[in-house]
């Protein structure tokens, strides 16, 4: 393979060519999962509003036992993590809705589903779309095993060499994206982050969700031991949700920086136009 | 191409508006009763069936005495003001009876002492509130299955309904469970908590413990146990107070 990117074999695709980038299964799952994640996140924040505290261990019901807490005192909202407290007025704990009315829920109206923070309806959204999320991941993983997508995401030994990893980080930091034939394949940072989302973060979301179910943990008590108790599972569920939001933000940023229309098309039709090599 | 319809700026604006617009659309859809009934009940429908297949008779985890929460949080009514209840409480529940009726061969009424004389079960379990918090407590009571066997459940019976002494927003609290939960060994009518008689705040003299479901299913201040073939005649037909009022799930195993 042309590591330098300067001598691309004539037979292969070159910059400017449209290549088939994403499998149909990947494209279908990507958009289903995007919708499911959005609804799960917003309804999850509404569920959190019903008891805006997180604990470690089996039990937890009082603010003094919480490691994370969103609250309000007088005209100020605050976020407390461990011993540290940050004022979050206007964003968390005490904020104005669209009509200018002040509210004391943890997460604001624009971020939650339903916007009135009704716990019963939030749970209905969450528990219905949880099925789509879990079954969708399952189907995508099976399809990806069959069509070779998962194997393509596994980094090779040379890619995992510290020098290569560092080089890849440097390229990302300098916004130097691969061009020509090199852009067909994922680079090692993409592989690692997509793998982390698919085989770690999303499965942990599903398992911690199940670990909060008093019915499921009767059948699978090991879930409680795996996460260190029901309230720990609830905390991990929340932390991983934050990690998924961070992934989403970086993902969007990278898409915007490296040809958003081209990426959008490749995730809809599968066709991706290879960026032209430098100097061509 | 000098005039592109889809510019980068337009795409950005569209993408940035897509998520809030989707949520706003969902918000409007979710407010419709038909959508709640036909679509947003899918999760509950699936959970109930899959859980019944998957869980079978599995027991909820039981904890050690040292795991018991120092202060067990309460929710719902902690001090019913209903006249009958206040009178019962004043007399130490001497005249209180647990009525068992509906689709049973022998409609019965049990005194508190009669319930205490039946074979008892003690269990230290975790109570999960739908809001998100959990507390661990020890519960002592008579397995509901035994009470139902005494009254002789008729074959048509499919649900057990609990009528309570406390009222919320002017309606007496009620809840219901299926027979799989009713005859589960950990489903008890608890008259004791943490080694003492059940405190008022936790539903004295008797509350339901149905350990594989969320807190609102655990009816407090139980006065009457009724066996029915269908939930359609109970309240507004959804099987429980919160189910009828706010559309909380009837199956609260998740």
Show the domain range for B124.
60-246
Asked whether residue A147 falls in the same domain as residue A252, the answer is yes
Nearest chain B residue to A116 by CA: give it. B27
Residue A245 lies in a domain: yes
Contact B8 A113 (CB under 8 A): no
B191, B20, B40: which is closest to B112 by C-alpha? Answer: B191
What residues of A are in contact with residue B217 (Cβ under 8 Å)? none
| Other CB atoms within 10 A of residue A199 CB | 14
- For position A2, what pLDDT does the model report? 41
Determine the Cα–Cα distance for residues B77 and A179; give it in Å rounded to an integer.
66
What's the rounded mean pLDDT across residues B197-205?
A: 98
Contact A224 B61 (CB under 8 A): yes
Show the domain range for A166.
18-51+116-273
- For position A10, what pLDDT does the model report? 55
Which residues pair with residue A96 across a beta bridge? A102
Residue A47 lies in a domain: yes
Residues A5-28: tens digit of each pLDDT: 445 455 788 888 999 989 999 999
Domain at A151, CATH number: 1.20.950.20
Sheet architecture: strand order including A84-87: A53-54, A68-73, A76-81, A84-87
CB A103 within 8 A of CB A112: no
Residue B165 lies in a domain: yes
Is A182 strand, coil or helix? helix
Residue A11 lies in a domain: no
Give chain B's domain count. 1
Nearest-CB residue to A218 (from B30, B43, B212): B212
Residue A34 predicted with pLDDT over 90: yes
Residue A153 lies in a domain: yes
What's the rounded mean pLDDT across residues B108-137?
A: 98
A217: phi then psi, degrees, rounded to nearest 5: -75, -10
pLDDT band at A277 (very low <50, low <70, confident <90, very high): confident
CB A263 within 8 A of CB A255: yes
Residue A206 predicted with pLDDT over 80: yes
**Between A and B, how many residue pairs show a Cβ–Cβ distance under 8 A?**
160
Asked whether residue A217 falls in the same domain as residue A92, the answer is no
> Which two tokens mark A1?
């393979």
Asked whether residue A209 falls in the same domain as residue A89, the answer is no
Determine the Cα–Cα distance for residues A123 and A133; give it in Å rounded to an integer.
15
ipTM score assigned to the predicted complex: 0.94
Asked whether residue A143 falls in the same domain as residue A244, the answer is yes
Which H or E element spans position B128? Answer: strand B121-128
- Report the mean per-residue pLDDT for chain A: 93
Contact B130 A48 (CB under 8 A): no
Residue A252 predicted with pLDDT over 50: yes
Q: What is the DSSP string of A231-272?
A: HHHHHHHHHHHHHHHHHHHHHHHHHHHT-HHHHHHHHHTSEE
Find the helix packing angle between B42-55 and A119-147, rounded to 10°. 70
Cβ within 8 Å of residue B117, ≥6 positions away = none
Nearest-CB residue to A214 (from B44, B133, B211): B211
Place of tokens 């529940």: B93
Residues B54-80: tens digit of each pLDDT: 999 999 999 999 999 999 999 999 999
B166: phi then psi, degrees, rounded to nearest 5: -95, 150
Which H or E element spans position A84? Answer: strand A84-87
Domain at B183, CATH number: 3.90.420.10
pLDDT band at B50 (very low <50, low <70, confident <90, very high): very high
CB B134 within 8 A of CB A212: no
Which H or E element spans position A70? Answer: strand A68-73
- For position A185, what pLDDT does the model report? 84
Give chain A's domain count. 2
Asked whether residue A157 falls in the same domain as residue A225, the answer is yes
Q: Contacts from B7-10 at CB under 8 Å and sequence distance 24+?
A: B8/A260, B8/A261
What residues of A are in contact with residue B248 (Cβ under 8 Å)? 119-120, 123
Contact B42 A131 (CB under 8 A): yes
């Amino acid at each position: 393979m042309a590591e330098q990117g300067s001598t691309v074999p004539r037979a292969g695709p070159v910059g400017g060519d449209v290549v088939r980038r994403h499998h149909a299964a990947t494209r279908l799952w990507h958009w289903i999962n995007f919708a499911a994640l959005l609804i799960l996140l917003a309804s999850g924040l509404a569920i959190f509003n019903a008891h805006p505290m997180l604990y470690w261990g089996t039990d937890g019901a009082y603010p003094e036992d919480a490691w994370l807490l969103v609250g309000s005192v007088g005209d100020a909202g605050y976020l407390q993590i461990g011993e540290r407290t940050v004022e979050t007025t206007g964003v968390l704990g005490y904020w104005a809705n669209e009509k200018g009315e002040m509210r004391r829920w943890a997460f604001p109206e624009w971020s939650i589903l339903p916007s009135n923070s009704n716990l019963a309806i939030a749970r209905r959204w969450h528990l219905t779309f949880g099925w789509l999320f879990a079954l969708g991941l399952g189907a995508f993983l099976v399809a990806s095993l069959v069509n070779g997508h998962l194997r393509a995401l596994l980094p090779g030994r040379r890619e995992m060499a510290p020098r290569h990893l560092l080089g890849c980080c440097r390229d990302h930091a300098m916004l130097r994206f691969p061009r020509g034939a090199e852009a067909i394949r994922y680079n090692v940072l993409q592989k690692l982050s997509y793998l982390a989302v698919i085989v770690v973060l999303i499965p942990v979301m599903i398992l911690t969700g199940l670990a909060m179910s008093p019915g499921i943990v009767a059948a699978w008590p090991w879930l409680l031991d795996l996460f260190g108790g029901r309230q720990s599972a609830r905390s991990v569920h929340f932390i991983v949700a934050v990690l998924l939001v961070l992934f989403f933000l970086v993902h969007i940023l990278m898409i915007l920086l490296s040809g958003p229309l081209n990426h959008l098309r490749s995730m809809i039709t599968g066709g991706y136009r290879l960026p032209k090599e430098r100097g061509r | 191409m000098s005039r592109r319809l889809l510019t980068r700026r337009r795409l950005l604006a569209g993408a940035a508006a897509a998520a809030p617009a989707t949520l706003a659309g969902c918000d409007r859809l979710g407010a419709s009763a038909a959508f709640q009934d036909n679509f947003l009940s899918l999760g509950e429908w699936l959970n109930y069936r899959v859980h019944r297949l998957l869980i079978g008779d599995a027991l909820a985890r039981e904890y050690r005495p040292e795991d018991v929460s120092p202060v067990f949080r309460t929710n719902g009514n902690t001090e019913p003001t209903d006249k009958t209840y206040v009178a019962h409480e004043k007399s130490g529940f001497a005249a209180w009876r647990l009525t068992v009726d509906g689709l049973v061969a022998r409609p019965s009424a049990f005194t508190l002492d009669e319930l205490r004389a039946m074979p008892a079960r003690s269990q230290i379990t975790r109570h999960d509130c739908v809001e998100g918090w959990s507390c661990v407590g020890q519960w002592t009571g008579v397995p509901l299955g035994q009470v139902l066997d005494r009254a002789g459940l008729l074959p048509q019976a499919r649900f057990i309904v609990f009528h309570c002494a406390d009222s919320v927003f002017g309606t007496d609290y009620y809840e219901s469970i299926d027979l799989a939960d009713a005859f589960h060994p950990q489903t008890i009518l608890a008259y004791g908590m943490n080694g003492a008689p059940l405190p008022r705040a936790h539903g004295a003299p008797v509350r339901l413990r149905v350990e594989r479901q969320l807190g609102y299913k655990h009816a407090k201040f139980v006065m009457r146990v009724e066996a029915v073939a269908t939930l359609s005649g109970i309240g507004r037909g959804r099987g429980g107070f919160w189910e009828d009022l706010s559309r909380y799930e009837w199956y609260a195993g998740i």
